[in-house]
Amino acid sequence: MDWSALTLSLKLAAWTVLILLPLGIWAGQALAAHHFRGKAWVEALLALPLVLPPTVLGYYLLVAMGSASPIGQFYESVFGKPLVFSFEGLLLASVIFNIPFAIQPMQRGFEAIAPEVRDAAACCGLSRWRTLWRIELPLAWPGILSAVVLTFAHTLGEFGVVLMVGGSIPGETKTVAIAIYDRVQAFDTAGAGVMSAVLLLISLLAIGAAYFTNARTRIRRHG
Partner 1 sequence: MAEGIRVRLQQSGPIPLDASLQCTPGQVLALVGPSGSGKTTVLRAIAGLLRAAAGEIHSNSECWFDAQRSINIETRHRRVGYVFQNYALFPHLSALHNVMEAMLDRPAAERESRARDVLARVRLSGLEDRVPAALSGGQQQRVAVARALAREPKVLLLDEPFSAVDRATRQRLYRELAELKRDLAMPVILVTHDLDEALMLADQLCVLHQGRTLQIGEPYAVMTRPDTVEVAQLVGLRNVFRAGVIGHDEARALTIIEWRGHRLEVRLQVAFEPGTQVTWVIPQGHIMLHRRDRPSRGERENPVSGPVIECLPMGENVALSVAVNGLDRPPLFLTVPAHVARRNGIATGVEIGLSLLADGIHLMPSDDTRTPAKPR
DSSP helix/strand/coil, 90? helix
For residues 77 to 116, the per-residue mask of contacts with partner 1, x marking binding by CB under 8 A and - elsewhere, is -------------------------------------x-x
Per-position b or e across 56-87, b if 16+ CB within 10 A of its CB: ebbbbbbebbbeeeeebeebeeeeeebbbbbb
Q: Report how many residues bind partner 1 under the rule CB under 8 A.
A: 21
Residues in 138-167 at the binding interface with partner 1, rule: CB under 8 A: 138-139
Q: Provide CB contacts within 8 A for 199, sequence distance 6+.
A: 156, 157, 176, 177, 180
Q: How far is the CB of 32 from partner 1 (least distance, A)?
A: 16
Q: Is residue 33 a contact point for partner 1 (CB under 8 A)?
A: no
Q: Which of 101, 85, 100 is nearest to 178 (CA)?
A: 85
Q: Which of 164, 166, 197, 167 is nearest to 180 (CA)?
A: 197
Cβ proximity to partner 1, 117 vs 205, nearer residue: 117
Q: How far is the CB of 39 from partner 1 (least distance, A)?
A: 18
Which one of residues 78, 80, 125, 187 is an interface residue with partner 1 (CB under 8 A)?
Answer: 125
Which residues contact partner 1 (rule: CB under 8 A)?
114, 116-117, 119-127, 130, 134-135, 138-139, 220-223
